[in-house]
Amino acid sequence: MTTVTPEVLADLAPNGCLRAAINYGNPILAKRDPVTQAPTGVSVDMARQLASRLGAPVDFVTYDAAGKVVEGLQRNEWDVAFVARDPVRGKGIEQTFPYVIIEGAYLVREDSPIRSNEEVDQTGRIVVVGKGSAYDLFLTREITSATIVRSPTSPSVVNMMLAEGHDVAAGVKQQLQADVRRVPGLRMLDGRFMVIEQAMGTPKGREAGADFVKKFLYSMIESGFIASAIEAHGAGGALVASLPSGHGA
> In this predicted model, what pLDDT tens digit does every residue of 174-203 receive, in sequence order?
889 989 999 999 999 999 999 889 999 999
Structural domains in the chain, sorted by start? 6-100+197-240 (3.40.190.10), 102-194 (3.40.190.10)
The predicted pLDDT at position 248 comes to 56
The predicted pLDDT at position 109 comes to 98
What is the DSSP pairing of strand 58-63 with strand 18-23?
A: parallel
The reported pTM is: 0.79
The predicted pLDDT at position 28 comes to 84
Per residue in 203-214, pLDDT (tens digit) is 999 999 999 999
Beta bridge partners of 103: 195
Flag whether pLDDT at 249 surpasses 60: no
The predicted pLDDT at position 247 comes to 56
- The Cα–Cα gap between 199 and 204 comes to 15
Average pLDDT over every residue of 15-39: 92
Flag whether pLDDT at 1 surpasses 80: no
The predicted pLDDT at position 246 comes to 60
Mean per-residue pLDDT of the chain: 93
Average pLDDT over every residue of 157-171: 97
